[in-house]
Structure 1
């Protein structure tokens, strides 16, 4: 699974994963979310997170 070059904004969770493996999160803008900006949560493993801009999240 790949999340690349997205502008994620004005949602409750910016990017939240649960039990996900082998995912790439790269070159995204994650902003103005109501709760989390970026949350690799319980059971998430083998994830690459690089070159993202994350700001103004609660």
Structure 2
């Protein structure tokens, strides 16, 4: 029981983001994910073309 009580006490000390901050942070995360996905897609496509050229297909 002491553990649960300590968890609740620690959770009261957490600084939670406001709704506006949460939306901003979510947008940053989603934007970063999209950029990384596009970058990896382009690299994968380029590697596929290079591999096909290398093996002569």
Q: TM-score, normalised by structure 1?
A: 0.17
Q: Report the structure, 1 or 2, having the larger helix content.
A: 2
Q: Report the structure, 1 or 2, having the larger strand content.
A: 1
Q: For the pair shown, which has the larger CA radius of gyration, 1 or 2?
A: 2
Larger RCO, structure (CA 8 Å, separation 6 or more):
1
